[in-house]
Structure 1
Amino acid sequence: MKFFRSATVALAAFATAAVGLAAAQTPAPAAAHAAETVAPVAIPPAPKPVGTAWVLVDYASGNVLAGENYDQQLEPASITKVMTSYVVAAEMKNGKVRPDDQVMLSERAWREGGAGTDGSYSGFEVNKTAPLIDMEKGMAVQSGNDAAIALAEHVAGSEEAFASLMNSYAAKIGMKNSHFVNAHGLPAEGHVTTAYDLALLGRALIRDYPETYAYNKIKEFTVGTITQPNRNLLLWRDASVDGIKTGHTSKAGYCLMSSAQRGDQRLIAVVMGSTSEKQRADDSMALLNWGFRFYETHRLYDAGKAIATPRVWKGKVKQVQLGVARPLLVSVPRGRYNALKPSMELPKQLVAPIAQGQAVGTVKVTLDGKVVAQAPLVAIAAVEQGGFFRRLWDAFWMWWESK
């Protein structure tokens, strides 16, 4: 079970079928597409934003399409609240809190994040409660510091304890250069992240908690008599934009974490340290448009459909159907789709029992020798262990093949 095989005769047939599928999904005529594959148009440099750091990331693969200084630690300002949203959603999924919980706006939340401060606020009344889902919308849409603190206190007892949760979840997401001190993003010693880490966070929120993510596209929200608009100007400029979050302090500058989806293709842009609200929006829109213009996303395999049926030993049946648990999408420069090369990695011998959903290998897709997409190969249906004589007979042949 320690040895893996790839590109055997059987896998070559699989690869040919996979490439055939890719070609069949390409709308361009075969001759025109072949010409593009031979001589693709060179991709021009991405439009460089005004700011300290920026990055454009492909959602499907997580690959960086363009960027500069995206691993530099910087203050995230109110983009911090995306991390707060992620933690609240995760704790809700774990049964710790519920959408209809009554969340108290404490004196601390009002004093540090309410209308009397210089920061953004939602306007919830001090020492009164509101449903958790309203607090979330007040934080996501209005960027309310008061709502962020109230949510942190409700979920973890204190904002300090909540910050510890934020750092734990950030580590799970893979945000290696981030550290959070508060739930709202006002300046604090040691409260830092990077443009790339924020792109990872946005990708995780979209993937793991789409209902929570959807709050970020709400254009305005009312608390009491106060109606405030979403500060993300791109929501009004382009219907494909559905998030994510703005941020601004005098030290952090103007920041924007944005995402847009056109068909199966989704991109995430992060611009930090820009000079104005308009500049960060202009630059983010230019990045997104550049990515959509010069890259394309294709669906290679649908979830739950067999893409391979390798031999299984000691089972009631002799083959197992393998597929992917989630749709496998790949993003490549336009005109390079036919150059993709799929392959599989599987154990040398598969032995029953195999549970439904069990990962038993990996499917990879490469372009010019570089992996551009990969996913675990999982069993679509379980394979139960065979009877005594089946296991004995297969044990003999496994031994014989291993000689």
Structure 2
Amino acid sequence: MAAALLPAAAETLGTRAPVAFLYAPGTSTSLYLKDADKAFEPGSLVKVMTAAAVFEALSGGEVTPETTCKVSEHAWRTGGAPSRRATMFAAIKSEIPVMDLLRGLLIHNANDAAIVLAECLDGSEEAFAGRMNTLAASLGMNGSHFVNPTGYGTLENPDSKGEASRTTARDMAKLGQFILEKHWDYYPLFSEPEFTWNNIYQRNKNPLLGEIRELDGMGAGQAASGFSGLASVERNGRRVIAVVAGLSDEKTRLAAMKEVVEGAWDYFAVERIFAKGETVTEAKVFGGTASTVPLRTVSDVDVLLPRGGTLDYRLRVVYSGPLKAPVRMGTPSGEIQVLGNDGIVYRAPLETAGEVDEGSLEERALGAVSYYLFGWF
């Protein structure tokens, strides 16, 4: 199908963040990309992946919220009070339920909670990092690699300058969408306002909470490559996931996150490109009583597109063809894509809107000659 122009904005979203990604999961639309596949060190933003791995263990029945985990000397010394880093002050050799450790992880940003959970599930930080990387691979987080559950330094020495975890803005948005879609029951943990453990009261340490209207998760990090953040915001029934990275300090990180999040409402509006069941194009058919079959949308194609203007968004239909007869009604057959300057920003499946029976021997022979001599265009 020939590319078609869609509306684009006279004014466009911009941010001071060197790395940024804005995604609307409800319409599967990538709204804004700025070096979205450039790797950065996430620091304690890694703990969002740590939480996701534990959520998976809970949903798979490996552990329950009541399962108790023992605090090892390593977890206490490396992530607890002696470390002088963020901690839930878990007592050495004590046993703590998984749900309380998750609260320590996500509310206190606690390193001891992250290590205890890792050791509880897999025996060591290193083994748990393998679990994290397996999950990342299954989610298509191709630019990510995790070395431990805390995000600090290396496995052997948290303060060393050796291998560190890495990720990308696009990958973190995929992780956020995964949690929202598959582990919604645990998502409220990200925004619980406070948690008391060992008689020590602490407010939620996510520096983005309460600073951006309707932001209800996920986390923030700091590393050698700068300050980063992953945010999920819902307003008036529309949710967006935003990621920024490479900022110089907390203040500029917050300002950049506001620029990206607010841009979703300032510069974009939902546009219906095609209604459910509407014919989009035709697909070539090989060896049938007809040479083409219509392709239609499986559902309404609602895309968040820039307000006003007239430039730079195009439509493209992609399918693996020609389709081989017989072709049945409702057969999944490719997808419609919306392309912007930075690549595909939206994709939705297509299916056949008609049937084509297998042709006679003569029709199939003619089709084969056409295919091998001229190809399909």
CA RMSD of aligned residues (A): 4.1
> What residue is the counterpart of 2:263 in the other structure?
290
Higher strand share: 2
| Aligned CA distance change for structure 1 residues 377 and 248 (closer, same or farther; 3 Å) | same
Q: Given residue 58 of structure 1, which amino acid in structure 2 is its aligned partner? A: Y
Partner deviation per Cα, 1:43-94 (whole Å, 9 max, x = no partner): 2461314xxx4213223346361425x5444321110101111212223333
Match of 1:281 among 254, 262, 271: 254
Question: What number of residue pairs does the alignment pair up?
Answer: 346
Higher helix share: 1
> What residue is the counterpart of 2:199 in the other structure?
225
Q: CA deviation at 1:258?
A: 1.9
> What residue is the counterpart of 1:54 in the other structure?
19
Q: CA deviation at 1:160?
A: 0.9
Q: Could you tell me whether the CA contact under 8 Å between 1:56 and 1:288 is conserved in 2? A: no
- In the alignment, the residues of structure 2 paired with residue 402 and residue 365 of structure 1 have an alpha-carbon distance, to the nearest angstrom, of 37
- In the alignment, the residues of structure 2 paired with residue 369 and residue 167 of structure 1 have an alpha-carbon distance, to the nearest angstrom, of 27
- In the alignment, the residues of structure 1 paired with residue 341 and residue 228 of structure 2 have an alpha-carbon distance, to the nearest angstrom, of 35
Q: Given residue 332 of structure 1, which amino acid in structure 2 is its aligned partner? A: L
| TM-score, normalised with respect to structure 2 | 0.74
Q: CA deviation at 1:342?
A: 7.3
Q: CA deviation at 1:95?
A: 3.1
Q: CA deviation at 1:301?
A: 7.7
> What residue is the counterpart of 1:240 in the other structure?
214
Q: Could you tell me whether the CA contact under 8 Å between 1:322 and 1:378 is conserved in 2? A: yes
> What residue is the counterpart of 2:144 in the other structure?
178
> What residue is the counterpart of 2:30 in the other structure?
63
> What residue is the counterpart of 2:190 in the other structure?
216
Q: Given residue 238 of structure 1, which amino acid in structure 2 is its aligned partner? A: I
1:108 aligns with 2:82: no
Q: Secondary structure at the match of 1:374?
A: strand
Q: Secondary structure at the match of 1:85?
A: helix
> What residue is the counterpart of 2:40 in the other structure?
74
| Aligned CA distance change for structure 1 residues 73 and 190 (closer, same or farther; 3 Å) | farther
| Aligned CA distance change for structure 1 residues 351 and 275 (closer, same or farther; 3 Å) | same
1:372 aligns with 2:345: yes
Q: Secondary structure at the match of 1:211?
A: coil
Partner deviation per Cα, 1:320-345 (whole Å, 9 max, x = no partner): 997648x8542221136998757574
- In the alignment, the residues of structure 1 paired with residue 269 and residue 53 of structure 2 have an alpha-carbon distance, to the nearest angstrom, of 32
> What residue is the counterpart of 1:26 in the other structure?
none
Q: CA deviation at 1:248?
A: 3.1
Q: Given residue 172 of structure 1, which amino acid in structure 2 is its aligned partner? A: S
Q: Secondary structure at the match of 1:63?
A: strand
| Aligned CA distance change for structure 1 residues 347 and 95 (closer, same or farther; 3 Å) | farther
Identity %: 28
Q: Could you tell me whether the CA contact under 8 Å between 1:219 and 1:235 is conserved in 2? A: no
Q: CA deviation at 1:138?
A: 1.3
Q: Given residue 191 of structure 1, which amino acid in structure 2 is its aligned partner? A: A
Q: CA deviation at 1:299?
A: 6.4
Q: Given residue 34 of structure 2, which amino acid in structure 1 is its aligned partner? A: G
Aligned ranges 1:116-195 → 2 under 5 Å: 116-188=82-154, 189-195=162-168
Q: Could you tell me whether the CA contact under 8 Å between 1:160 and 1:181 is conserved in 2? A: yes
Q: CA deviation at 1:351?
A: 6.9
Q: Secondary structure at the match of 2:141?
A: coil
Aligned ranges 1:247-262 → 2 under 5 Å: 247-248=221-222, 251=224, 253-262=226-235
- In the alignment, the residues of structure 2 paired with residue 222 and residue 186 of structure 1 have an alpha-carbon distance, to the nearest angstrom, of 24
| Aligned CA distance change for structure 1 residues 279 and 377 (closer, same or farther; 3 Å) | same
Q: Secondary structure at the match of 1:112?
A: helix
| Aligned CA distance change for structure 1 residues 340 and 264 (closer, same or farther; 3 Å) | farther
- In the alignment, the residues of structure 1 paired with residue 39 and residue 34 of structure 2 have an alpha-carbon distance, to the nearest angstrom, of 14
Deviates most, 221-230 or 59-68 = 59-68
| Aligned CA distance change for structure 1 residues 320 and 63 (closer, same or farther; 3 Å) | closer
- In the alignment, the residues of structure 1 paired with residue 362 and residue 238 of structure 2 have an alpha-carbon distance, to the nearest angstrom, of 47
Q: Could you tell me whether the CA contact under 8 Å between 1:231 and 1:246 is conserved in 2? A: no
Q: Secondary structure at the match of 1:244?
A: strand
Q: CA deviation at 1:119?
A: 1.0
| Aligned CA distance change for structure 1 residues 273 and 279 (closer, same or farther; 3 Å) | closer
Q: CA deviation at 1:120?
A: 0.4
> What residue is the counterpart of 2:369 in the other structure?
none
Q: Secondary structure at the match of 1:233?
A: coil
| TM-score, normalised with respect to structure 1 | 0.70
Match of 2:242 among 261, 268, 283: 268
Q: Could you tell me whether the CA contact under 8 Å between 2:233 and 2:241 is conserved in 1? A: yes
Q: Secondary structure at the match of 2:186?
A: helix
Q: Could you tell me whether the CA contact under 8 Å between 2:147 and 2:164 is conserved in 1? A: yes
